[in-house]
Amino acid sequence: MLLKAEFQQSARVVPPPIDRVVAAASTIILGKKTQVRLALACLLARGHLLIEDLPGVGKTTLAHVLARSLGMHFQRIQFTSDMLPADIIGVAIYERDSGSFKFHPGPIFSQVILADEVNRATPKTQSALLEAMEEHQVTAEGETRKLPEPFFVIATQNPSEQVGTFPLPESQLDRFLLRVALGFPDAAA
Per-residue confidence (pLDDT) for residue 109, from 0 to 100: 96
CB within 8 Å of 186: residues ≥ 6 apart: 31
- Per domain, the residue ranges of the chain are 2-180
- 3-state secondary structure at position 164: coil
Residue 88's Cβ-count burial label (10 Å; 0-12, 13-18, 19+) is buried
Residue 45's Cβ-count burial label (10 Å; 0-12, 13-18, 19+) is exposed
- 26 to 1, 2, 11, 33, 65: CA distances (angstroms): 37, 36, 22, 6, 9
Per-residue confidence (pLDDT) for residue 9, from 0 to 100: 54
Residue of 85, 80, 150 lying closest to 112 (CA atoms): 150
The one-letter amino acid code at 183 reads: G
Per-residue confidence (pLDDT) for residue 177, from 0 to 100: 94
What is the pLDDT tens value at each position of the chain, 189 positions in all?
445 555 555 555 555 677 888 888 888 888 888 888 999 999 999 999 999 877 777 788 888 888 888 889 999 999 998 999 999 999 999 999 999 999 999 999 999 999 998 888 888 888 888 789 988 999 888 889 999 999 999 999 877 666 667 778 787 888 899 999 887 777 777
CA distance 120 to 188: 33
CATH code at 2-180: 3.40.50.300
Residues 89 and 106 sit within 8 Å (Cβ to Cβ): yes
DSSP-derived pairing of the beta strands 100-105 and 90-95:
antiparallel
Residues 90 and 109 sit within 8 Å (Cβ to Cβ): yes
DSSP-derived pairing of the beta strands 178-180 and 49-52:
parallel
- 115 to 9, 57, 81: CA distances (angstroms): 43, 16, 13
Residues 119 and 157 sit within 8 Å (Cβ to Cβ): yes
Residues linked to residue 75 through DSSP beta bridges, in sequence order? 113
